[in-house]
Structures are given as C-alpha cells and as structure tokens.
Amino acid sequence: MTHTAAKSFRATHWHEGIAECQERNEGYVLVTVVGAAGSTPREPGSKMVVTASHSIDTIGGGHLEFDAIARAREYLAKGEACTELHSYPLSSSLGQCCGGAVKVLFDVCNVHQQHIAIFGAGHVAKALVPILAQLPVRISWIDSREELFPSSLPANVHKVVEEAPESEVRHLDENSWLIILTHDHQLDYRITEQALKQPSLPFVGLIGSDTKAKRFITKLTQRGFDDNALARLFTPIGNRDIPGKQPIEVAVSISAQIIERLHVKEVTAGNSNKYSEKPATAFHKEKDTTSDT
C-alpha cells in the first residue's frame, strides 16, 4: 500500500496558515497566548496554527509549545469545533524555568469536512474528483494502478495506491461516504460487501446499471445482509434527474447527489436517517455506465 505524504505548507506565519487551511478545507487549531505573568517566552497575542501534521509560526518554543501542539491535536482528533482555555505555569514541571505563567486559548476551526472515499481512478473518477475537491470535503482516492492518477492533485485529495482496494474500507473514518467506480464488477462487489459490514459507513454509492444493482442486491441478500444494511447502498449512484452517459455527465450527476447530501447534513446536524434520496432497494435507474475503466 502506498499513501501520498502529507502535503507541506507554504505558510510561515499564522495568518497565512489560516488562509492555506481554508484553501485546503483542512481542520486546524489557532493557538493564542492570551495572558502572561512574570517572565515568559512570548508576549500575549502570539499565535500559531496547528494541523494534524504541521505547525505554523510559534508561541515561544520549548516544552510549552510542544505541549500546546499535542493538546491542539487532541482537540482536532475529536472532530468538533470548540474553544478551550488552558493555563501553563512555566515551572520545572513543564521543563521550563522562566518562572512566569501563560494562558493559552485553543480555537478549533474548520473541522466538519465530510470524508469521501472514491474507489477507482478511471474516466468518471477523473472527471468527478476535481468537482468534489472544490467542496468542503476530504477525499481519499483509492486504486491499485498508480499510473492512472494525475501527477498533481488538489490539496484536499489524498492518493492511496493499494493492490487490494477493498482492504482500505476497514481503515475509513466513521461516517465516511463511499463512491465505488472501479473497472471491475467483482472488485466493486468486494468493496460494497466490506462497506455494508460496517454500520458506521452511512452512504455506499455504487456505479452501475439496474441489472447490476439487482444482481448485487440479490447476492448480498443471499449472504445475509438485511434491509438495514442494504438501506445504506445507493445504486446506481447519481441524481436521477441528470441524464447522460459520458464521464463528465455521470460525474456531474454524482456531484449533484453529493452536494444535496452535504446540504441536508448541515440541516439535520449529522442525522443520517433524514436524507431525502432513496436507497438501492427503493428504486433503480438504468444507466449504460456499469463500470469506470
């Protein structure tokens, strides 16, 4: 398995870091010294930006900054916007002997990006990824064929090269959405089956025709998947009101469905039971695009 390394930041100052995080749709913590007493490494108003993989600017270095970065990443990992105030005595317990004390404000921002895992790097996926990358989402783009990926990707798109793409399903974050667009029906099925085994994955979108959808549902039912599991399968994926078989047309159709879900998610505050579109068991729509080569 090959993952692309976390993209480095161009920013060197905290305000540039915020702008770059917003551009990338990446969560961050703005860390600010809001109070100081006695001898301290930096004055009130000093700021830094902390992401899951980088820190930008400084609040004074040393153990204070090391602890602040670790604390900021703990807040990020919770995935919730919040503001927290923490007091630091700059004593030997923190490995610093300044003798003063600081109060540090942690402001967790931009953390509600939906994670979308796109399986397959064929023509439809290549048309789809640039569209979705403009939305407030994080994308994992997964395929076994490294040569199919573009040489450069948007900042919020993470390339994963995996010989057995279905094995990546178990590594997905809770509440991730899947878009399955591979070149192989058997691989599509393996990914779908793995996804439906995980109730924490609320949306499993699968490209295909009505015939393919019925075949998959029959096979899944025979293998013991109940209605609750099948209710998370949406196939053929895409907005039914947008016709067309060309890759860009299919990509626009899928994008429309994803955009609708993103807006409904905001309204329902994450309640996955209130989406308006119907699962695979409720309807089928014939499309000639049964796989994405």
- The domain spans of the chain are 9-109, 114-274
The tens digit of pLDDT for each residue in 197-254 reads: 999 999 999 999 999 999 999 999 999 999 999 999 999 999 989 989 999 999 999 9
Report CA-CA distances (Å) from 137 to 19, 77, 145, 193, 257.
16, 16, 24, 24, 14
3-state helix, strand, coil in the chain (%, to 5): 35, 20, 40
Residues 56, 69: Cα–Cα separation, whole Å = 10
Contacts by 223-231, CB closer than 8 A, 24 or more apart: 223/193, 225/193, 225/196, 227/281, 228/199, 229/196, 229/197, 229/199, 230/196, 230/279, 230/280, 230/281, 231/279, 231/281
Asked if residue 283 has pLDDT above 50, the reply is: no
Tell me what pLDDT residue 216 has.
97
Count of CB atoms situated within 10 Å of the CB of 52: 13
Tell me what pLDDT residue 247 has.
96
Tell me what pLDDT residue 101 has.
86
Tell me what pLDDT residue 1 has.
67
- As to burial, measured by CB atoms within 10 angstroms (0-12 exposed, 13-18 middle, 19+ buried), residue 287 is buried
Q: Which two tokens stand for residue 21?
A: 């995080």
The tens digit of pLDDT for each residue in 134-191 reads: 998 889 999 999 999 999 998 889 999 999 999 999 999 888 999 999 999 999 999 9
Q: Which has more pLDDT, 289 or 156? A: 156
| CATH 3.30.70.380 is right for the domain spanning 114-274 | no
Asked if residue 194 has pLDDT above 90, the reply is: yes
The tens digit of pLDDT for each residue in 58-94 reads: 998 888 899 999 999 999 888 788 899 999 887 655 5
Tell me what pLDDT residue 16 has.
95
Residues 164, 133: Cα–Cα separation, whole Å = 24
Handedness of CA 22, 24, 25, 27 (dihedral sign): negative
Tell me what pLDDT residue 22 has.
83
pTM over 0.85: no
The tens digit of pLDDT for each residue in 6-41 reads: 678 889 999 999 998 887 778 899 999 999 887 777
